A and B are shown apart, each in its own frame.
Chain A
Amino acid sequence: MSAADAAPNPWVDPSYVVDNWDTILAYTAQHVRLTVLAVVIGSVIALPMALVARRSRWLAGPVLGLSTLVYTIPSLAMFAFVAPFTGLSETTVLIGLVLYSLVVLVRNFLAGLQSVPADVVEAARGMGYGAGRLLWRVELPLALPSFVAGIRIATVSTVALVTVGVIVGQGGLGQLITGGFNANFYRAPIVTGAVGCVLLALLADALIALAGRWVTPWTRTVRA
């Protein structure tokens, strides 16, 4: 048995949560703030990228390649790259998170746009739809389920990824995880941080899924 087991060191400790409620709340707020900002900014950048990538096969390769390259940069190094410019701030973490969310979002947005059946597009063109109206009235609605799936994946991944921000001291609930680890393997904060992350991710996912059902009412009848 290691020294960590000598003193009482329970996995779950409600009194820890009660005693440190304000700290936990503050870290949760940071976690939510970083996640929402990252996914919103990521989506705003990803849609034009996906549209451009679809329009031109010459650009699709570089756009996807670039986003892949970004995703392959390990988060450890990503924050080290950004830190000299933005310091040990939330901005450092946010820039990294946006870049990572872009990969998921661009891919899913592009897959959604490409999944629009060619005969539907042809029919719309035949009915006199111009490029703008075709996109807005036909292609985007049909691609919406894919978009929602992408945003769900990006959000859940981002919630998990925020924890790596501990490297610059801005890791949201991740601060509890490493804080507990560094405090002689104090398990209560580790578990609190981990469970908090999971609950946050599930809540965000459920909310987006609900919103997705709401904006795509036609998909509900498919099962029947």
Chain B
Amino acid sequence: MTYRLRSSRRALLQGAAAAGLAAGLPLGAARAQGPALKIGVILPRSGYLAQAGQSCQRGVDIAPQVLSDLGHRVEVVSVDFESNVDLARTQAEKLIADGANVLVGAFDSGGTSAIAQVCEQKAVPLVINVAAAPQITEQGFKYVFRNFPTSVMLVRNGLSLMKEMFKATNVTPKSGIFIHANDTFGQANRGAIDRLFPTLDMPFKLVDAIAYDPRAQDLSVEVTKCKASGADFVIVTTRAGDAIRLIREMVKQRYEPKGIVSPGSPGMYDQEFYDGLGGYSDYTITNLPWPNFNAPITKRLGEAFAKRFPQARFGVDAFNVGFTFEAMLVAADAAKRAGSRDSRAIAEALRSTDIADHVMTGGTISFDAKGQNNNIASATVQNLKKTPTVVLPREAAQAKPVFPMPGWRGRQA
């Protein structure tokens, strides 16, 4: 399914005028721009990654107006790759053939790898919103730019935050088990855990690692295996529906670890997780980059989100919406600096990106020689009252971490 978002000339000028007033930009600068930048967005809006893809899409839907307010003109063409890597490649080729100047996507490491190859062949820049597999920016590609941590960065930050949590709560587990989806992202996280765990002086031992098919409908054996290991701490790399099935099985099998923590995978901060598990979703933790809600641009994005999606919660979608919007901002900023819609000129401008005012926590958005932004920080986000809540680092905390987590008994779905 393809749909287009276009702004009329009048609406655009009105938006530019409003933005000029609001953001202090000269009106003439907005009016002097050439034709709109055509951004092709590829996301898994259906299939097993649909929930996250649709969440990212909400960021895409509000981006043209917010970017317009900031003086950028964009035309967006959105396509769905149905959580299917082969289709991701085909959709990328089609978008480029249809004249996209730059591509944005694709939430999934497998799909993003396929799109990256197409972009490299066609010399069209790809700005990654979410995808952590390190190899994507390790292949010497010249047209791939990732404003998202690699799984090594995610896991390093995630493990460090675990230690910080043990220190803050004076509780340390004895042994942990790592259970992960057996896909590109899950394997990348497994590789990072294997590599980093022995080097970070973690205060518990890792007794086992279990891989499972992310499309698997039955995770009972996996949970039995976790329980039988005697581990009192569970590290997970989930996708979406599998996170729900995992917790559901833990409740059924009365497996009560001290904590369930993800070093940066999706699933446990998604609306689907709260809807599916109710009270059982509480106290699970994800260590991942999170929006800076005090930043003016985040507030502006939140307002646009609330206006466009009154039924959804920005606090829940903020991760996907934030990174997706930032990817589009990065592309629009580069095109503006390049003064051109030419893909090669935009790629050249992307290399000198330096955006200080942005949505996610961390330093300025800039890319190293490999196209990787290394300035993204992580936070410990714990589900409290079915809401993702920052509990660490202390300076950004909205509440204190709850660890060990309370047992399943007494909670309700």
Do A and B actually bind? no
